[in-house]
Each structure stands twice: as C-alpha cells, then as structure tokens.
Structure 1
Amino acid sequence: MPLFLYLLGLAVFAQGTSEFMLAGLGPDIARDLHVPLSDAGLLTSAFAAGMVVGAPLMAVLGRRWSPRGALLGFLSVFVVVHVAGALTGSFLVLLVTRIVGALANAGFLAVALATAVSAVGPDRKGRATSILLGGVTLACVAGVPAGAFLGQLWGWRSAFWAVAAVSLPALLAIVRSAPGGARGDSRTEAAEPRAPLAAELRTLRRPRLQLALLLGALVNGATFCAFTYLAPVVTDVAGLAEGWVPALLALFGIGSFLGVTLAGRLADTRPRAVAGGGAVALVCGWSLFALTAGSPAATVALVPLLGTLSFGVGATLISRILYAAEDAPTLSGAYATAALNVGAVIGPALGGIALTWGARGPLWVSAALAALALVAVRRAFEVADVTSPGKAPHIQAPPAS
C-alpha cells in the first residue's frame, strides 16, 4: 500500500479524535464558556449532523478540483476551525466551528475514500478502505483518551490544538503525493475525466447499492447505540467501578482496530463470509451481551469481541458500497460516509429512548438493528445473484439451507 494512504489515515485519525473527544471534554467546556452541560452536548450532535449533510454536498463541491485540491482544501479548513475553536471564548462561535469542521471532515473523508480506492488495484478496495478506517479506530483507542487527558492537564483547548497539530503531516503529504500533479494550481489542474454528476447520482437507483447503504447504516447504528451508552452498562449493570469505563472503551477500540485490520485482508476476497457470518455473529453477540451484562467477566470479554465484529463487518460494507458505486468515482466515498453517519445519528438516538427500559435497553436495540441488517444481508445476496458481475467481485448468494 502507498505511504500516502497511511498519511491520509493519520488525518482521519485526527478527525475521528475530534468527532469523539467531546465526550470527555463536555463538562470542562460547559464550565469555561458558562453554558449548561446539555448545551455543550449539542456540539457532538452538530458534528454528527454536519457529517451526514456534508458528505454528499462537499463531494459534489470537490468535483471542481483535483483530488489534491479537494483534500488540501477540506483539511486546511478543518485545521483552521480547530485553531479558531481553541481561541474562542464564545459558545456560539465554537458551535459554528464544529459544524464547519464536520462539513470539512465529511468532504475530506468522501474524497479520501474515493482517492484511496483509485490508487490501488481494482481488487484491493477493501484493503485501502481499511487503512483509512484504521484512523477512526485508533482515534477510539488512543485519540479520545489522549484528548481527555490533555483536557484534564491543560484544559479543553489543548485538545483542539493537538488535533490541528496532528493534521499537519497529512497536509504536507497531500501537497507532495496526492493525485493532481506536483506543480501548479491544484484547483485548475485536470485530473482524470470525471463522469457527469447526473450519471453518478443515477447509481443510487441500483438495488445493490441501496442495500449496501442500508446495511452500513444499520450496522453502524447498532455499534454506536451500544458504544454511546456503554458507561451505564459497566457501572449500573455489571457493577464495576467508574475507573473501568475508560479501560473498556479502550478495549472496544482495540477490538475495532483488529476488526478493521482483518476486514482489510478478507473484504475483497471473502465478503460473503465477513458480511453474512458477521451479521449473524452480531445478532448473537449483542443479544448475549444484553442477557449477561450483569456479569463483569462477560462484559470484559464481550466488549472487545463486539468491537472486532462491528468494525470488521462495517469496514467490509464500506468496501461493498465502493464496489457497488464504482461508476460514481467522486461520489462513492460520499455515499459511504453518509451511510455510516446516518447510523451514528440514529443509533444513539434510539439508544437514548431505550434507556427508559434500563441500562440494558441500548444493547437490545443494537441486537434488533443487527437483526434487521441480517435480513438485509440475505436480500443483498439475492440481488447480487441476479446482477451481472462487474469489474469488482460481488457478494454471491449463499447455498440454500
């Protein structure tokens, strides 16, 4: 894999850290800017909503530039708004920077996904995708705890400065290595001829792509439904001390990194096994967690396992979206980004409602979402079976039971 892809993964790591780090910085921000904690929580919601809306809009905007110009522009805006957020004393300004940062993040990830798969062979999209998504999982493992630690040590603003600083090596890599040429103005340099926008949008009519998008949203919704409300499960149901919460979040992150790594090796060659078998395992896993959450040993064992399964299946589904939308080279990454973030918005919202049933409620919702994904996987197999094969490998129908 080209070194350039790993540096793009570093930028995704910084952006993932930014998206999730407010979970540990909210109380400090609320005190410093003199707003209720509930208002500080809007910073996270605004970022997620900006990601959903921004993915397709920013990808369309990015069509006017070469990949290098789009990546450089989106990442530069991301860095600037984090510097502004670190300097401001206004909650309203901070909220606006979060929305703008989310739009830039969405645009960057959409273009980065499309650029990554175009930089490798037609049968290595899963591997390229896993490198970028590895940045997100590393953000869960290291970035978010590090942001919380910096916030405790030097205040919440230091975490914003750190995110901006970590993005700088990726900026340099984009200038030197991204498609678009080494010299001249990347906004005007011609990249490869682009398909008409209308033709790219027509790919959304394909049932195979629609099912892949639905699957991505359902699996990610299940993941973030449980992940968002893991703390009350750990303390109120399993009866562990609060000090176990960051440790188990880190274990979930380690599992997610392992899942993305495994998916990178299997998604291109064995998508049926990963998507179909993984969906079955997720239904069983979330259900088992809901039933056994009162056991500390079961909780410690299942958290990393479910992180591995969730992100392994999720990464595979992203590669399926990119394969299904291969005729939409500039929008395929946007489709994948939007689907993931629809899940990231819907999952926690449903989990919040399920908390009225008790702390196990979100786990049961995750199991239900995984069950819906399993039904959709079966339908995806059937659609793929009657679809003529394209350039990339497709999911084949499972043998009749």
Structure 2
Amino acid sequence: MKLFQTITVLFTLAVVTSSGLSQWSLQTGLSGKYDDNINNNYLQMKDKITSLSLTGSYTWETDNSATEMFYSGSLNYYSTTIDRTFHYHSIGIDYNHLYGEEQDTYLNLGASYSTRINRNDYTLYDHNQLNLFGTIKFPISERFAGMSGYSFTYLNMKEVPDFNYIEHAAFFQLKSFLPTRTTIILQTDLGYKMYTTPNIDTTSTGSSGRWGDKNSSSTSSYPGVTQLIGMMRIGQAIVDGTGLSLSGQYILNLQSESRYILSYDGIVSGDDIFDDQYSYEGPSANITLTQLLPAQVVLKLTAGIQNRNYLLRPAYDLIGTEIADKRVDTRKNIFLSTEKNFEDLGISLGLSYEYLQNSSNDEYFKYSNNIFGISLMYQY
C-alpha cells in the first residue's frame, strides 16, 4: 500500500508540474461481452459483461530514453449476476533506454501495483498485486536477435490468504529472420511460485468427496511449484497483407505442490487466480491466420488445442465421488476477431467471437462456451 501511495503522489506531481500536453496520453474504452457459460462449468450460466476502461500516462523523453508513469482502471458490470461486478485499478512506472552505437539494444524496467475490488459473495476474488520486471533486447547478428527478462510478483488475497504467493519468473528468447520472410522464435521460461502461508502436512485418514476435508496433521511446510516452459513459433508472410503463425508449447512441472478450491456453486472459476498454469502441465498448439482487408480492416482467425494434466487434483462425478486420481482436460478453441482503426478520429472498433470446448474426466468441468464481444476505444 505504501508503494501505491508513493506512485500516486509522484503521478500527481507530474500533473501539477507539467508545462504542456504533448507528452500526455489518455485512452477510454467501452466493451461488451456475452458468454453463454460465464463460470466455465457444466451449469452453463449465461451473463453479459459491460466494461468501461480508462488508461492515462505521462512520458518524459530524451534522445535515448523514456520514463512513463501510468494509471489503468476498469469497471466490469455483470447483467445477470450483478454481485459479481468488480473494478480494477493499476498504477506504475516504466523506464526504457536504448544502448549501442546504433541504439539497437533495448532495456525496459518497471514496477506496478494493482488492486481488484469485488462485493458480497465474490469478495474472495479481492486481491492486491505487486509486480517488478526487467527485459533486455539485443542483436546477435544480422539475422538473429535475443531477448531475456525477469519478473517478480507478489499477490495478496484479502479473504483467502491460503492463495497468497510469490512468483519468480525468467525467460530467454531467440528470434531468427530468414530471407523467405519467415520468423522463427524459440523461447524457454522458468518460473517458481511459492505460497506464503504454510501447509499443514497431512496423513489422510478419511475423505468426504469433492467438498470434504481430509483429517489429521503433522508438520508445516510452504508449498511451491517449479515450472519449465518450452515454446516455438513460426511466422510466415504468405503474400502482402496475409500472414500465418504456428506455435507449439510444452509446460513441465519440475516440482509439484499446488493448491486449489473445488466448488459446487460455480463461484470459484477464475483461471488466473485459482486455476493458473502452475496447476497443470502438458502440450498446446495454435495456428493463427492474419489478413489485412480493404479499408485497413484486420481480420484474425486462431485455432488452438491444449492438454492439461492437473497436479495432485482428483476427478469427481457430479455428486462428489472420486472417479480418477488425476484430473485431465483437453481444451479446444476457435477465435475470430476483426478490428478497424480510424486514425484521424483516434477511434478503434473491434468485434470478436470465440468457441471454447473443454473435455474432462471430471464431470463438473465438461462444458462449452460461445463468447461474443464488441469494443470501442478512443485515444485522446
């Protein structure tokens, strides 16, 4: 909280002391989404979400560096489950510097603090998050470039402190540019997530199913997950205005101690908090076709598949009886989007549709989604 207050003061000083508007940036957005399975489970609950967003920044520039202070906020209103409405706020600082005779080495450092505020039954999603990061891009040769980075994240769940965690993540990327207008990217990521509240290690003496507790305890420990990710992406320019991208990824957990919540009412469903990628491993693949249409309209079509082998998580039937010692999902999706920028007006208009199908040996997580979206952005 002290960091949030400090950044707020600095941002306010920038507003007061600035002598011009040329370095200001302000963007507002209005978007709507209809999802026929908002909780991603077999219950198939429908909802419409209207989101209002505001992003503002102030940038100080020199010949080879730029420092930016920014604020980003959004209000997300649920039409059916109104209590699920929440707002999100983030504030931070970002520093960029160019090095070298040709200024082809790029350093990026930054910090941000964010908070999410829900209400009533959904306040279990309330959290604060601190993020520190650094990235460097550098040339290797005429046709090769590299990039590496590190980030630190601390997440504090206000009502479910068992999910408070610290994350260290590092990556290295190698990019190759071929004469055939082909780009090849190889990347490896190494992450470590540790929960900051201790486990009470248990020796099971009984269980009451999906929503039951196991009995007896002995020593305390801090669970953590170490994860290695390998990714390859190939991008190919086919003709002017048409591009194709193929990517494959594999997630491997080297150390597996995770936490999760199982719920019968559909409240707990946030993949980014309670079902993040540290909770499973497996391969995934995607293909994306990008087409530039007349009037500078951009059309994208993506299809993907992902296998998720969950760690230390059994599969259950709908009455809570364990039917397998490990939950295994296969997630398939098709995503179609189109976007048009009206640069003279500072307006961007987008439309999207996604079909998502999740197959699982856990009956609760056999579902499909149809998601329609529309967005309007205005840049001041």
Greater length-normalized contact order (CA 8 Å, ≥ 6 residues apart): 1
Bigger Cα Rg: 2
TM-score band by shorter chain is under 0.3
TM-score normalised by the chain length of structure 1:
0.21
User: TM-score w.r.t. structure 2 length?
Assistant: 0.21
| Higher-strand-fraction structure | 2
